[in-house]
Structure 1
Amino acid sequence: MTYSGAVKVGGPADVHELTDLMISKVAVGSMNNNAYLLRCRYTGEQLLIDAAAEPHTLLRLIGDDGIMSVVTTHQHGDHWQALAEVVAATGARTCAGKYDAQGIAVPTDVLLQDGDTVRVGRVELTARHLTGHTPGSIVLIYDDPHGHPHVFTGDCLFPGGVGNTWGDPAAFVTLLDDVQHKLFDRLPDESWVYPGHGGDTTLGDERPKLGEWRERGW
């Protein structure tokens, strides 16, 4: 079946099957958070992005093979409510942005900085530090050698705009600048965007709107 990225709380995961990586997306919790399970097709090693809520749902998705790591995209509580339970059940190491780790209730084992590599089996992802939604939000980029990039943006980029900056003009400009310089200026239109809530998009679908976002200020 074709992957769409359309998931709902209580519903099944949607699976994006790539040559080297399988990406399973599931929606959890009262804030409709997305969690993503990445599985290396060569080694079977798995990594979870955002143990947001519903630990039973996430552990069922993970299955008996367990996970090596959990990456928390940023410090807001709706993105790590299930982290303690998932780590306790799997023994996974925790990863988060260096400047957001202190705001996450579960201790962080690996402090990620801009440009750091995160591995799941033979697959490598690149962490990018974006400021504005939080001080240390982390975006993960998988530059698929067999296709286009795949970008896990947390709450920094959604269909229709960047993440919430709560009416702070300076934070908005900082976030939009980071999103533009570190994502849009470096990656092609085909790049698939997996946000922290709601449906997916591509950089090509959003690129024409950058000027509109900057003008409107949110």
Structure 2
Amino acid sequence: MTYTGDVQVGGPADVRELPGLTIYKLAVGPYDNNSYLLRCTETGDGLLIDAAAEADRLLALIADQPISAIVTTHQHGDHWQALEQVSKVTGAQILAHSLDASALPVRVDRTIEHGDRITVGAVTLEAIHLRGHTPGSIALLYDDGDNGRHLFTGDSLFPGGVGNTQKDPERFEQLYTDVVERIFDRLPDQTWVYPGHGKDTTLGAERPSLPEWKSRGW
């Protein structure tokens, strides 16, 4: 089956098989969030990005396989409703950026800063701090070289624009600048973007719209 990233709440996960990593994308309600399970193909270790809701469905996706960590991309409540239950059942460590960690409902085991590395078995992810949607919003980059780059952006980058900054011009300018400098200026057009809600995109599909985003201010 070809991966599309098009998932529906209540429906099955979409699965992407990469040489070193398998990516499972699951939509959970009630806010149509995307949760991503990443599993190292060499070791079987797993990592969950945003235990957003519907703990039973997330645990069914994880099944009886290990996950060593749960990363919360930012502090907004729709991204951590299932965090406490999933972490208790799996024993996974809880990771979040230091500026958002105190807003989560459970103690964070490890705080993440810009540029930190997070391992999933034999796979390494890089944390990219994208300030503006929340103070501690992060994206996670899996750089597989010739096999492609895969970017999990939380609510900081979507098809059609950056994340919501509540019409605050300073927050928008900060988020837009970070997204341009830390993502678009660095990564190629083929980079696949996995957002916190909705459909996936690529940097190449979004790059031509950057001047429009800047001029409109959202």
> Normalising to structure 2: TM-score of the pair?
0.99
Which 5+ residue runs of structure 1 have no aligned equivalent? none
| Secondary structure of 1:183's aligned partner | helix
> What is the aligned partner in structure 2 of residue 168 from structure 1?
168
Q: CA deviation at 1:98?
A: 1.1
CA contact (8 A) 1:19 1:146 kept: no
Measured in 2, the distance between the counterparts of 1:8 and 1:103 equals 28
Give distance in 2, aligned partners of 1:202 and 1:152. Answer: 11
Moved over 6 A (4+): none
Contact 1:162–1:175, Cα closer than 8 Å, also in 2: yes
Q: Which residue of structure 1 lines up, in the alignment, with residue 46 of structure 2?
A: 46
Code of the aligned partner of 1:3:
Y
Instruction: Report the Cα offset of residue 106 of structure 1.
Output: 1.2
For residues 139-181 of structure 1, what are the alpha-carbon distances to aligned partners after superposition, in whole Å with 9 as ceiling and x for unaligned? 0000013412100000000000000001101100100000000
1:127 Cα deviation after fit: 0.2
Q: Percent identity among equivalent residues?
A: 61
Superposed CA offset, 1:93-136 (max 9, x none): 00001111011111110100000001100000000111100000
Equivalent residue for 2:191? 191
Report SS of the residue matched to 2:145: coil
How far apart, in 1, do the equivalents of 2:133 and 2:74 lie? 9
Note if 1:204 corresponds to 2:201: no
Q: Distance in 1 between matches of 2:20 and 2:74?
A: 26
Residue in 2 that maps onto 1:62: 62
Deviations 1:34-76 (A, max 9, x none): 0000000000000000000000000000010131100000000
Aligned-partner Cα distance in 2 for 1:148–1:208:
21
Q: How many residues align structurally?
A: 218
**RMSD of aligned C-alpha atoms?**
0.6
Match of 2:181 in 1: 181
How far apart in 1 are the matches of 2:206 and 2:41?
A: 30
Unaligned runs of 5+ in 2: none
- Using the alignment, how far apart are the partners of 2:108 and 2:138 within structure 1? 14
Equivalences for 1:68-107 in 2 at 5 Å?
A: 68-107=68-107
TM-score by length of 1: 0.99
Provide the C-alpha distance between the structure 2 equivalents of 1:103 and 1:189, rounded to a whole number of angstroms.
Answer: 34
Give the superposition deviation at 1:29: 1.3
Aligned-partner residue type, residue 181 of structure 1: E
Residue in 1 that maps onto 2:110: 110
Q: In 1, are the aligned partners of 2:44 and 2:66 still within 8 Å (CA)?
A: no
